[in-house]
Chains A and B, each alone.
Chain A
């Protein structure tokens, strides 16, 4: 069953289309990683799904309803991002109480335990927290709300490495105990990929790839060896990334549709075949040129 269905979704800010005819379905009880460069439209998409703003055109259904101005959707969705608008008059413990009154499945015990574990102090105010502590508090809200659809937009920004690891583990453990639909956007794909079931890669307001993360790892392959031989093996293939190493060596990433026998003969021909990490592949796929930053410096 799909929790989110969108078809031809467009959102324009002035003349710029943050979402440009975007379509996708998100299935129930999966953890999906939303990946893309800065400005790809990730936050815009999440804001529209959460009902925080309205699409310019296109069709969107969350739990089969249009999310904008919709009470069912807002009671069943939590949207965690780094500009949370929380009442400044309340201290942290009071904020948790208010959240508890809003979300039906709120887990008070989990909220309190996480609160103590991360050494937050009850009487402090949100405004006074550091960036990383704000993110930590937000994360507690997102997990304890335990709503059917949880949206995390860059949840780990400002967190130190230890807290990030704790967050990933807490997210997974609570998901195992209470499966639900989770979308998490991040620039640290290498850190979150093991938690994910699916990956949704965005570029220029469109969906570029949407597949199980396990398939992505085998989707492309890197070939390294003598340029002439590599060229021979990669002709008629879709080039994803190319790089020259030294005078006559190349590294080329292509779609992985080699057969087992082709693999063997490429190896024997002296080509190193290596898997491409998901995060490298996403960088290559979303880059504007096939050579990346090096193209800027290669004038001729």
Chain B
């Protein structure tokens, strides 16, 4: 994911999502050190306070933990936590949006389910 700095999503949210993706992709493993706020600031050309805010979201959710003086590390079951969270929040919200848009377009529930069945998972995974 490339951070979309012009986007409507706050940057710190995008940073925390990018970090989650790094964990999901296995680029940063459990109990490994994650990027510091200064590294993130340097990578994305953003204020380090913004980067810290993105990191702190994940600390609050216990996906990351702090080691005094050493930085932030990935929790051992971080992957599962991210997956569950995304299912419960992001996916639910997206489904809600699809349902609203379908209603606006007068697409029936059956039709909508058919469309979901027809959507090619293979395409998505690429």
- Asked if B72 is at the interface of the complex by the 8 Å CB criterion, the answer is no
* Cβ B100 vs Cβ A168 within 8 A: no
Query: For window 195-246 of chain A, which residues contact chain B by CB distance below 8 Å?
Result: 195-197, 212-214, 217-218
Closest to B47 in A: A197
Give the contact-size bracket for chain B: 20 to 34
Known: A176-B38, A264-B96, A268-B100. A212 touches B49 (CB 8 A): yes
Known: A214-B10, A214-B12. A176 touches B42 (CB 8 A): yes
**Alpha-carbon separation in the docked complex, A267 to B104 (Å):** 11
Contacts of A270 in B (CB 8 A): 104
* Cβ B45 vs Cβ A169 within 8 A: yes
Contacts of A190 in B (CB 8 A): 6
- Asked if A31 is at the interface of the complex by the 8 Å CB criterion, the answer is yes
* Cβ B8 vs Cβ A194 within 8 A: no
- Asked if A131 is at the interface of the complex by the 8 Å CB criterion, the answer is no
- Residue interface bits A171-211, CB-to-B below 8 A is 1, else 0: 01100100000000000001000111100000000000000
* Cβ B42 vs Cβ A197 within 8 A: no
B interface: dominant SS: helix
* Cβ A176 vs Cβ B48 within 8 A: yes
Contacts of A176 in B (CB 8 A): 38, 41-42, 48
Contacts of B11 in A (CB 8 A): 194, 214
Known: A172-B41, A264-B96, A268-B100. A274 touches B48 (CB 8 A): no
- Asked if B5 is at the interface of the complex by the 8 Å CB criterion, the answer is yes
- Asked if A275 is at the interface of the complex by the 8 Å CB criterion, the answer is yes
Contacts of B42 in A (CB 8 A): 172-173, 176
* Cβ B38 vs Cβ A217 within 8 A: no
Q: Which of B6, B9, B10, B46 contacts A195 (CB 8 A)?
A: B46
**Alpha-carbon separation in the docked complex, A210 to B73 (Å):** 33
Determine how close the nearest CB of chain B comes to the CB of A72; give it in whole angstroms: 28
**Alpha-carbon separation in the docked complex, A202 to B79 (Å):** 45
**Alpha-carbon separation in the docked complex, A217 to B46 (Å):** 15
* Cβ B50 vs Cβ A214 within 8 A: yes
Determine how close the nearest CB of chain B comes to the CB of A104; give it in whole angstroms: 25
Determine how close the nearest CB of chain A comes to the CB of B27; give it in whole angstroms: 23
Q: Which of A31, A268, A274 contacts B47 (CB 8 A)?
A: A31
**Alpha-carbon separation in the docked complex, A264 to B3 (Å):** 26
Query: For window 13-69 of chain B, which residues contact chain A by CB distance below 8 Å?
Result: 38, 41-42, 44-50, 53
Determine how close the nearest CB of chain B comes to the CB of A249; give it in whole angstroms: 15
**Alpha-carbon separation in the docked complex, A194 to B48 (Å):** 10
**Alpha-carbon separation in the docked complex, A172 to B41 (Å):** 8
Contacts of B38 in A (CB 8 A): 176
* Cβ B49 vs Cβ A197 within 8 A: yes
Q: Which of A194, A267, A277 contacts B46 (CB 8 A)?
A: A194
Determine how close the nearest CB of chain B comes to the CB of A167; give it in whole angstroms: 12
Contacts of B10 in A (CB 8 A): 214, 217-218
Determine how close the nearest CB of chain B comes to the CB of A204; give it in whole angstroms: 28
**Alpha-carbon separation in the docked complex, A190 to B6 (Å):** 8
Closest to B97 in A: A267
Closest to A275 in B: B8
Interface centre among A30, A176, A196, A277 (most CB of B within 10 A): A176
Contacts of A267 in B (CB 8 A): 96-97, 100
Closest to A196 in B: B47
Closest to A215 in B: B10
| 17 A-B contacts (beta carbon < 8 Å) | A172-B47, A176-B42, A190-B6, A194-B11, A194-B46, A194-B47, A194-B50, A195-B47, A197-B50, A212-B49, A214-B11, A217-B10, A218-B10, A267-B97, A268-B100, A275-B9, A277-B8
Contact residues of A with B, CB < 8 Å? 30-31, 168-169, 172-173, 176, 190, 194-197, 212-214, 217-218, 264, 267-268, 270, 274-275, 277
Contact residues of B with A, CB < 8 Å? 5-6, 8-12, 38, 41-42, 44-50, 53, 96-97, 100, 104
7 nearest CB pairs, A to B: A197-B49, A275-B8, A194-B46, A197-B47, A217-B10, A176-B38, A195-B47
